Amino acid sequence: MKKRVLITGAAGFLGSHLCDRFIKEGFHVIGMDNLITGSLDNIEHLMPLEHFEFHHHDVSNFVHVSGNLDYILHFASPASPIDYLKIPIQTLKVGSLGTHNLLGLARVKQARMIIASTSEVYGDPLVHPQTEEYYGNVNPVGPRGVYDEAKRFQEAMTMAYHTYHGVETRIVRIFNTYGPRMRLNDGRVLPAFIGQALRGEDLTVFGDGSQTRSFCYVADQVDGIFRLLMSDYPQPVNIGNPDEITISQFAEEIIKLTGTDQKVVYKPLPKDDPMQRQPNITKSKEILGWEPKVSREEGLKITYEYFKSLPPEKLFKKEHKDFSNYRR
């Protein structure tokens, strides 16, 4: 009898790669997504499989899954700044109501549940690199607060179910992750730069380019998440690549990778955009035996090849989705 796993946000970038991993590990995978930011293209290859099923559902509403359930991975949420600024209430709801619904399901099914938290819980950090013990520097009423506070609440609710109801829970704090199936127009720096290079546009840097990011290839991220879920550690764990780079340096890397000769143009920095982002991964090394294996050079080559293979309608598509039907 195959173990059964529910993955929410299954049609998203990270969710779809998690579906792949659990299929490969021999699980029966139940994917769930309301497709507000996800795309069925990401899981089309899984649809014919006997041990994959898909449910088109918004987890902010009551969630029902028939039969036994061994694991729940809650990865449903807009993660792109462009998306969550356009649908702030849905972002808050999936982090609060969605988490509550799934924790209730985990309790009833006696399933182990892992939530996708984020490095954004640290806000614009005053501690560098960020350890799990750092409480963060977050503006709850700033534009990014809808995402940051949804995730912070999600962690608190998860820990409450763990301590009060004894639900087996895990919390992964995800740092910048990239790879095939990212949306070119999702507002994050890596697909934005590659998309601009492929379209022959100048690369846009916000601020003076001195802010830092660290990028983890998706296969490494998925492996870290899998190991954390299978561990017995209930406290938050950072999963990310500590190899830090400034945005200006990164723009130069992309120009070199793509062989283009665009200029870099500088624009004002958005409000509350974090200046530094680098995970301390001591815990993941010690507890999970995990650290990233894929270098940025290697991961970027794979990602660039994926983006290069996209049809023109995707490459030149500026607007991902009209969210007007969801704004209620």
CA distance 153 to 144: 14
CA distance 225 to 277: 19
CA distance 102 to 190: 31
CA distances, 290 to each of 183, 212, 223, 282, 316 (Å): 27, 23, 8, 9, 37
**The one-letter amino acid at 259:** G
Judge residue 166's burial from the number of C-beta atoms within 10 Å of its C-beta, 0-12 exposed, 13-18 middle, 19 or more buried.
Answer: exposed
At residue 112, what are phi and psi to the nearest 5 degrees? -85, 135
Phi-psi region of 209 (alpha: psi -120 to 50; beta: other; left: phi over 0): left
The distance of Cα 147 from the centroid of its chain, to the nearest Å, equals: 12
**The one-letter amino acid at 74:** H
CA distance 215 to 192: 14
Under 8 Å between Cβ of 242 and 129: yes
CA distance 236 to 42: 28
Judge residue 304's burial from the number of C-beta atoms within 10 Å of its C-beta, 0-12 exposed, 13-18 middle, 19 or more buried.
Answer: middle
Locus of tokens 């998440």: 225
Tell me how far apart the 2 most distant CA atoms of the chain are, in Å: 58
Both tokens of 213, joined, read 């990011």
Of 71, 122, 147, 161, the active-site residue reads 147
Cis peptide before 236 (omega within 30 of 0): no
Q: Please confirm, yes or no, whether 266 is among the known catalytic residues.
A: no
Active site (catalytic) residues: 147
